[in-house]
Structure 1
Amino acid sequence: MKIVNQASVVELGFIGGVALGARNPLEALQRLSHAMPMHSSHETFRVSIEEDQVHIHHTLAFQVDDESTHAVHVLLISMLQQLMRFTGLQSPLLRRVEMMPHPKAGLAHISKTFSDRLLPSKSGVLNVSIDLSVAQVPFQAVARDRTANPRVGQIQPLTEDRSLAASIRPVIAAMLHGGEPTIERIARAFGGSVRSLQRRLSDEGTSYSEQLDLVRRELALAHLNEGDVSLTDLSERLGYSAQSALTRAVRRLTGLTPSQLADDPRF
C-alpha cells in the first residue's frame, strides 16, 4: 500500500509549503501545528515534546463514522512517515501510533507498512510518537529543493506565538457564528478535558473567557470597519443571543457603545 509519495506533501499547497519549508521534521511539525488553524477550522493538530519523544495529537471537531476516521488516520500517518523519509532515514520512523482501527479489518491490513507499532485508539483520536533524535535529523537537499516555487513565498509569515491561546483563537472565531462556543466545545475540539484546557491557559497567564473576549473584540472592530453591518447582524456574527448583550460586551471591553466605536478614529 503506497498512499503518499514524495510529491504528495508538496501538492498540499499551503500546508505542504509550510511543512517542507522547514529544516527538519520537528520544525515542520511545529510549523504545521501553528498553521493548521489558518488552514482548517474543523480539526486540530498539536505537537509537544516530552523528554526524548515528539508527540502528535490530531482530532476532528465533528463526528464522523469509524471507517472514515480510520481513512483519515491512515492518510495522516502515511504523510508523517513520508515527512520523516525526507531525512534519508529508513523505516521504522514512527515510534508509536494510536489510531482508529477499521471496523472490519482492524489494523492488520496496514501492519506491513507500519510494522508492529500500531495500537487501537480507545478514544478515536490519533496520537503519534516519534523519537526526538529522528525528528531533529535535517532534511536532505532534494526534499528542500522540491518546495522551491514562487507560491511558497506568498504564504503569510507564521507568527512566533506558539501558545495554546494563539491556537484556540481561530477555533473560537470559526465557532462563533453558531452561538457562543463554550469551553466544553473547545476542549472537545482539542481532544482534552476542560480542566486540562483551563490549566494550560492558566500556565500561559490567560483564561478561556479572556481569549473569547479578545476574539470578539478583534472581529467586532473588523466588522464595524466594513461600514454596512447592522448591530443585529453583528450580534449574530459574534455569537451573542441578543443585541443588548453585544452592546454591554462592547461597552465592557472598550468603554464605548458599538456605534461610538464605529465612529471613533482610534479604532
Structure 2
Amino acid sequence: MRKKTGSMENFGKGFIQALLAYAVQRDISIKRLCEASGIDYAALQQQKGYIISPEKVNSLWRNAAHFSNDAHFGLHFGESMQLAALGIIGQIISTSQTVGEALSQASTLVPLLTDLFSVEVNYQETSFQVILAYDVQKRHAFPYTFRHMADYLMVFALHELDGLTMEKLKPLAIGLTGTESLREYERIFSCKIHPNQDEIFLEFPMNCLAIPIFTANYDLQKVLIEQVSGLVQPASKDTVWQNKIYNYLLTNAYLYSQSLENVAANFNTSPRSLQRRLKEEGVSFLDVVDKVRKTLSISYLSSGNYQVKDVAYTLGYNDPSAFLRAFKRWTGTTPAVYRQQNR
C-alpha cells in the first residue's frame, strides 16, 4: 500500500510540473501562477513528499486559464502533452497490443491523476463509448479542475492514440456536460458535439478496438523527452514568435505534423495573425516546421537503431522517399550514411 501511495504522489507531482511547464510555453510566470494558487514552487521542486491540496489544484487551473486568457486551457494542454512524459503510466499503456487493451490499462490509471473521474467503457452494437464518470459533489466543489481536467483527458487520450496507432482516429461523437463555445471542440475532435449531457464521453466505431499499437513512436517520444532541454532555442527579442513555434513543435512532436491552425489555436491567436508575426521576423510557418523536422531527424537517428521509415512516419512523412529527399537537402547525405558517420 505504501508503494502505491508513493506512485500516486510522484505521478501527481509530475503532472503538476508538466502543467507548469506548459504554462511557461504560454508566457505565464511560474512564480506568479504558483503564488496566486497558494503553491510553494520551491517545495514542489525540492520536497519529495510535498502535496498540493485539491483546493490549490482547482485554483491552479483557474489561474492558468485566466493568465493565459484561454478558456480552453485544458484542451490545449492535452494537445501538447506527450504520453512519454507521463513516465511509468506511459510505459504501461505502451505495452498494450491494441487500442482496446490500452483503454483497459488507462481506465485503471486515471485515479493516479485525479479522483474526480473514473473511466468506463460502454460497448454498443456498432460503437463503444469511453465515459468519464465523475463525482457530482466534487464537480461542484472543484469546478475548474472538473472542466479543464475533463477536456485534458479527452483530447490527450485521442491524440496519443493517434500517435501510438499510426492512424488518425476520428470519434463518431463526443458528449459534454456544459454548453461552452463548441468551436475548439469541433476543431480538435472533428465530429458531432453533444453539449449539456449528463455524461462526458468519446464515441468510436467498434472496429477501433482492434487497431494495433505502434510502440516505435512511443520509444521515439521518450528519446525526445530525454534530449529536449538541449534542443530548444533560447528566447530572442528579434525572433520571439519563431522561437515560440519552434520550441512548441519540438517539444510536442506527434505522429502527424501540427497544422498552422492547431498551433495558432494553442497560442490563442488566429492563423492569419500568427503568419503575420512570423513574416515580420523573416520566416514562414513552413520554414519553422522544416527546421524542427531537421532537428528531430538528426536527434532520432543519432539516438538508436530506429528504422528510417519509423522516423519518417513520426515526423509526418507518409512516403519515406520524401523524408530521404528532405534529409539529403538538410545534411547533404542519406540517413544511413549519416548514422554510420556519427556513431
Q: TM-score, normalising length from structure 1?
A: 0.46
Which has more helix, going by share of residues? 2
